[in-house]
Structure 1
């Protein structure tokens, strides 16, 4: 069995790539470091978005691990254009995995890239890896592990949120939420 941790970033002041953590988000990032204080980690891989990196930094400092950046952990882009009905489109994208909006990425495309990032670590034999990422892309990874996961579970994610994925042979994966507000 191999163990992987997926962390949704802490509270941030926006959705742009350069959005920073709020003061509350900074406090949350230190609580995450405390949560992982007794947990073995061999590496930390983060989305290039500032809020994900800032979420991982206190933990990386405490564990004396360098944060590696992987663009595949970036948040899913639903559309390149502002959409008044984005919420409805996002909901639909969990049932129609191939639906795309203008300049956006389908759920299937986003799922493929985060799953690829995970399976790369599995193939390399790297265990006890923490991935710092975002809500939509993380929920799609969870959906890959458990197809029953969908829009409702995305809605229930918190900032931050933490899931453990335990990978067993023959592609058997178990997931467990370990962050409690």
Structure 2
């Protein structure tokens, strides 16, 4: 029995230090509408999202079209890099990818964030077997989940992700059978 999980990286947001409440930008809302249209011809059973507003707003059009509720899953939230702002984001994010067990003060290591995300994903494979599930999430966590199954999804891959971006993961029971990118910003403009 096949289960399809669509990992949806959120669209562009309006920057704010409020990670939980940061909304989509005007461009983000335009892209969220395109994502809704992309899924109009797909049979979607369940829509789940990180509790972060930008992730919810990216997938809620699909939920509205399908007359479903967006279910929130804390474990699909973005990885916490640090408890506070970092001086040099590029250096900080590079270090956690180079040293997967390292974490900044109050932050999560790659290994910890990956375990959290993979545990949530595997739970879905059990509870939603045979379903098509859309998951609103974040770029770093999405890459860490993919990296669990294939080490080619690494820091360099993360740097190439679009915002938004969508990857369809097809599982047979708990075994990953296929990963397919179904969003390309240049084709979806």
Distance 1:80 1:94 in 2: 18
- Give the length in aligned residue pairs: 181
Q: Pick the aligned partner of 2:181 from 174, 177, 181.
A: 177
Q: TM-score, normalised by structure 1?
A: 0.94
Q: Which of 118, 121, 124 is the equivalent residue of 1:121?
A: 124
Using structure 2 for the length normalisation, give the TM-score.
Answer: 0.91
Q: Map Cα deviations across residues 123-174 of structure 1 (whole Å, 9 max, x no partner).
A: 1243201100111111111111211211111111111100000112462342
1:175 alignment partner, SS class: strand
Stretches (4+) displaced over 2 A: 168-174
Residue deviations 1:89-141, cap 9 Å, x none? 21232232111111100111111111111111111243201100111111111
Question: Pairwise mapping of residues 6-25 of structure 1 onto structure 2 (< 5 A)?
Answer: 6-14=7-15, 16-25=19-28
Equivalent-residue separation in structure 2 for 1:110 and 1:173 (angstroms): 23
Q: In the alignment, which residue of structure 2 is the partner of 1:77?
A: 80
Counterpart mapping for 1:1-181 below 5 A: 1-14=2-15, 16-126=19-129, 127-169=131-173, 171-181=175-185
RMSD (Å) for aligned C-alpha atoms = 1.4
